[in-house]
Amino acid sequence: MRYSISLGLALGCSIAESSRFARKNYFYPDLAKNYQISQYDEPIAFEGEVEVELDDGTLVRIPIERAHMEEDAGKLTHVGGATGRIQGAEYSLVDYNRAGVPLVEIVTKPIFGAEHRAPELARAYVGTIRDIVRSLGVSDARMERGNLRCDANVSLRPRGQEKLGTRTETKNVNSLRSVERAVRYEIQRQAAILAGGGTIIQETRHWHEDTGTTSAGRPKSDADDYRYFPEPDLLPVVPSKELIAELRAALPESPAVFRRRLQTEYGFTDGEFRDILNANLLVEMEQTVAAGAAPAQARKWWLGEILRIANARGVEAGTLISPFHVSELIALVESGRLTDRLGRQVLEGVVAGEGSPDEVVKARGLAVVSDDAALLAAIDEALASQPDVLAKIRDGKVQAAGAVIGAVMKAMRGQADAARVRELVLERAQG
């Protein structure tokens, strides 16, 4: 209840004086009791507005119709057939672990006039919702895990026409990128039908990530067929003014304000900052810096090695490692206990689930050898085996030390600070 009110407030919504639950009746194996507890005529939050920023910085206001609570349904997996789709499946697996878990459904009003930028706007909007939900601590909002889902409604109408065209609702959109792709596909599909003189059928469609297309699902049911009625087992919710005021006071700053503040605090250029936004790593950045890392270092690791691994694996960078661990890793490198190269190996270990950076350092024995005795032994050995180099260094040809430094680093398996080795080599050569 508190989460849904906070979320409603963050979306600029009015909070209902009285809100109640309803039963939505339908038979489908994703809910074992044949009805879903939802909200119908008295949602907890309604009539809001959220500001969304497009890639080039353009701000667009998205009107919110309502935000209501309902229970999640179970997860179905269709097995067999070539594609894992319903058609051709041999059997289905039902997982009720998330059934009955509360969720909030946010419904926008129709958004007009985005034209060719509609797909981008849809993605930016879902990204903003994700940022808001995460900033409130309501959910991790990982689309690939189904924490955050999107049903994208698309309809077309001729320029100048008042009445909206028939819409379709596309489900199974599992990433921000897919939101944009699915909306673009659906616009093009509908445009082709309309241009050919056809009509759009109001229906649910399924997005297929692999082919980048949508396919027809069931025709949209008549709301009457769900035979909504007030849920007899749950009583109406009447949030007190005090509760709403308390939750309003506790709201974090909006993602838009948050972005502007961080950019100023970090002192990044627009371009540097946009890279972070485009990689969806702002929250990770903020938490990494809050944990003690310098913004420039945090940016370097997130946009560098971590993003590289994420891209290679086709996952979101934020799923690979926690901001706290990134901060710990940066601290290890900054303190000289790890070189950048060793830092990357430690990162690899953390990503592989071997524990915290500190634990990986210990388990893999990766720390820089800062024990001068061990270094000196290796240096003396290297100098002894390369007497010509030693002579050159003594003649003042300092650059010749490179060969010895290289030999020492090799002997240390890279786990030494090259600058310190160089210092000791020169000291020893003069010895």
Partner 1 sequence: MPDESPSITADQVQHLANLARIALTPAEIEHLAVELGSIVESVRKVTEVATPDVPATSHPIPLTNIFRADVVGDTLTNEQALSGAPEAFDGRFRVSAILGEEQ
Supply φ then ψ for residue 237, to 5 degrees.
-105, 125
93 is a contact residue toward partner 1 (CB under 8 A): yes
Count the Cβ atoms, other than its own, within 10 Å of residue 359: 15
Q: In sequence order, what DSSP letters do the residues of 394-413 get, joined into one string?
A: HTT-GGGHHHHHHHHHHHTT
Q: Which helix (H) or strand (E) holds 299?
A: helix 295-301
Report the residue number, 203 or 358, with the smaller CB distance to partner 1. Answer: 203
Q: At what angle do helices 323-334 and 340-351 cross, to 10 degrees?
A: 160
Query: Of residues 20, 66, 68, 130, which one binds partner 1 by CB under 8 A?
Result: 20
User: To which residue do tokens 């901001």 refer?
Assistant: 323
Of 165, 166, 171, 128, residue with least CA distance to 150: 171
> Residue 297 and residue 168: Cα distance in Å, rounded?
45
78 is a contact residue toward partner 1 (CB under 8 A): yes
Q: How far is the CB of 221 from partner 1 (least distance, A)?
A: 7
Stretch that binds partner 1, among 85-93, 108-116, 173-181, 184-192 (CB under 8 A): 85-93
How far apart, in Å, are the Cα atoms of 402 and each of 369, 378, 392, 429?
A: 19, 14, 11, 13
- Output the six-digit token pair for 390: 């030693």
25 is a contact residue toward partner 1 (CB under 8 A): yes
Stretch that binds partner 1, among 55-63, 77-85, 352-360, 394-402 (CB under 8 A): 77-85
Report the residue number, 18 or 278, with the smaller CB distance to partner 1. Answer: 18
Query: Of residues 137, 236, 336, 431, which one binds partner 1 by CB under 8 A?
Result: 236
237 is a contact residue toward partner 1 (CB under 8 A): yes
User: To which residue do tokens 């996952």 refer?
Assistant: 315
Per CB under 8 A, which of residues 27..46 are in contact with partner 1? 27-30, 36
309 is a contact residue toward partner 1 (CB under 8 A): no
Report the residue number, 178 or 263, with the smaller CB distance to partner 1. Answer: 178
77 is a contact residue toward partner 1 (CB under 8 A): yes
153 is a contact residue toward partner 1 (CB under 8 A): no
Report the residue number, 31 or 317, with the smaller CB distance to partner 1. Answer: 31
96 is a contact residue toward partner 1 (CB under 8 A): yes
Neighbour order of strands in the sheet with 150-154: 150-154, 168-173, 203-208, 213-219
Q: How far is the CB of 216 from partner 1 (least distance, A)?
A: 10
Report the residue number, 237 or 307, with the smaller CB distance to partner 1. Answer: 237
Report the residue number, 204 or 386, with the smaller CB distance to partner 1. Answer: 204
Query: Residues binding partner 1: what is the number (CB under 8 A)?
Result: 38
267-286 per-residue burial string, b: 16 or more CB within 10 A, e: under 16: ebeeeebebbbebebbbbbb
Stretch that binds partner 1, among 72-80, 137-145, 315-323, 374-382 (CB under 8 A): 72-80
151 is a contact residue toward partner 1 (CB under 8 A): no
Q: Are strands 168-173 and 91-95 parallel, antiparallel or unpaired?
A: unpaired
Q: Which helix (H) or strand (E) holds 132?
A: helix 118-136
**Neighbouring residues of 418: CB distance < 8 A, sequence distance ≥ 6:** 339, 405, 409
Stretch that binds partner 1, among 145-153, 216-224, 301-309, 312-320 (CB under 8 A): 216-224
Per CB under 8 A, which of residues 168..207 are in contact with partner 1? 171, 204
Taking the alpha carbons at both ends of the chain, their separation in whole angstroms is 74
100 is a contact residue toward partner 1 (CB under 8 A): no
Q: How far is the CB of 30 from partner 1 (least distance, A)?
A: 6
145 is a contact residue toward partner 1 (CB under 8 A): no
Binding site for partner 1 (CB under 8 A): 1, 18, 20, 25-30, 36, 73, 76-78, 80, 86, 89-96, 171, 204, 217-218, 221, 225, 227, 230-232, 235-238
